[in-house]
Amino acid sequence: MELGLAPLLLLCFLVSISSAEFSGKVGVNYGQLGNNLPSPSESVKLIQSLKAKRVKIYDANPKILEALRHTDLQVSIMVPNELINNISSNQTLADQWVHTNVVPFYPQTLIRYLLVGNEILSAPDKKVWFNLVPAMRKIKHALKTHGITKVKVGTPLAMDVLESSFPPSNGTFRSDISGSVIKPMLKFLLKTKSFFFVDVYTFFPWASDPVNIDLDYALLASTNVTYTDPVSGLTYYNLFDQMVDALIFAMKRLGYPDIRVWIAETGWPSGGDYDQIGANIHNAAIYNRNVIKKFTAKPPVGTPSRPGVVLPSFIFALYNENTKPGPSTERNFGLLYPNGSHVYEIDLTGKTPESEFKPLPPATNNKPYPGPIWCLVKKGANKTAVAEALSYACSQGNKTCDPIQPRGRCFNPNSLIRHASYAFSAYWAQFRKAGGSCYFGGLATQTIKDPSYGSCKFPGAKL
């Protein structure tokens, strides 16, 4: 009996080591929300120069899939969010999607993962939530119909699928999705041996509470800060592990303790607006270098609740993407500038020692800027769009635009740009703490130079 088991155990060990080496290699998210990005073929060369082993795209762009043909890069493609409702109830449509977007490229392009939607359970449209798992089933069936069995189907979700994540042992899925969406999804992932794809950013919880969360703990750089979960007894040395384990405990709570986790996105912004703490090149480089070392460690380190288990991953993102909406951080997660140069030195294999990288610029915004900050029209903004944004800003709040009405103290000079800049600042000063942003569809920019003149005082956002 023991002699018979020995070769079997050795085989299992070798398979697990092989799997670890295969899965521990780091990939990169290749977003395309920029009007100045390199071509797909040039982008593939840049991805290879970063020593990435996988690439994830947010659609099934045929030019990108063609550029990836005959490379050794494993590829993740995505069904767009807007198709999920239709695919969920129409197997023919799912078959057509796979026939059009997978079959022409497979297997010469190493498509290995097909993700259905992106952060669907964070979207306000609840109808699509309940169509997510049926769409995943339809896509899996379509792959099988076409004889494609080596492509895993999943969906990347944000950490807001949890209603409780602290302590990690209390990890719990939101009650509005737990039984109706998450449980059937976990059943599907288990049955198909797929992964729970999740986007994990320590930047956001740290930036929202920098007083109580240590920066080095969020950067995976802490040497003396730990947290011990009072229920599980597990000790944590960084915020990333806490967040991942909260998800693992949440799955366990629903009866699925063994589904593998895939980090679909993680990263740190290298730049941001004046009101965005800690978004700088120094922190971004430290975080990504540290998390890559974690992902590529041999033997694998896993997390406290799953020690020694590989966490396959994609770093976000390949480029700084200049047309992404939202605060400035959203346009500054790239490892590369659009011209192909490095934002900071990085090695996705994790093999380059820290001492071989050039010194990083010092972090200058790790503490909140006290304010005030003003919100003005960006230079070169489209005037028709500015007029519409002015109308929107003036329709919000209490007397937001009274000073730019005729005979108001800021009416003169009677200029669209001047009036809109006042309105943007007044709106942001009123609504920033309620979630309002200085963005206005990309028409606005922040400044710390007071634009007030004469008796016209521009309201500034106080932080």
Residues 302, 349: Cα–Cα separation, whole Å = 17
Positive or negative, the CA dihedral 456, 458, 459, 463 is negative
Selecting among 42, 119, 330, 356, the annotated active-site residue is: 119
Residues 430, 438: Cα–Cα separation, whole Å = 11
Residues 163, 175: contact at Cβ < 8 Å?
A: yes
Residues 21, 297: Cα–Cα separation, whole Å = 9
Per the annotation, the verdict on 82 as an active-site residue is: no
What are the tokens at 324?
């992404």
3-state secondary structure labels for all residues of the chain? CHHHHHHHHHHHHHHHHHHHHHHCCEEEEECCCCCCCCCHHHHHHHHHHCCCCEEEECCCCHHHHHHCCCCCCEEEEEECHHHHHHHHCCHHHHHHHHHHHCCCCCCCCCEEEEEECCCHHHCCCHHHHHHHHHHHHHHHHHHHHCCCCCCEEECCEEHHHEEECCCHHHCEECCCCHHHHHHHHHHHHHHCCCEEEEECCCHHHHHHCCCCCCHHHHCCCCCCCCEECCCCCCEECCHHHHHHHHHHHHHHHCCCCCCEEEEEEECCCCCCCCCCCCCCHHHHHHHHHHHHHHHHCCCCCEECCEECCCCCEEECCCECCCCCCCCHHHHCCCCECCCCCECCCCCCCCCCCHHHCCCCCCCCCCCCCCCCEEEEECCCCCHHHHHHHHHHHHHCCCCCCHHHCCCCCCCCCCCHHHHHHHHHHHHHHHHHHHCCCCCHHHCEEEECCCCCECCECCCCECC
Per the annotation, the verdict on 356 as an active-site residue is: no
Selecting among 265, 321, 330, 345, the annotated active-site residue is: 265
Q: Name the residues annotated as catalytic.
A: 119, 265
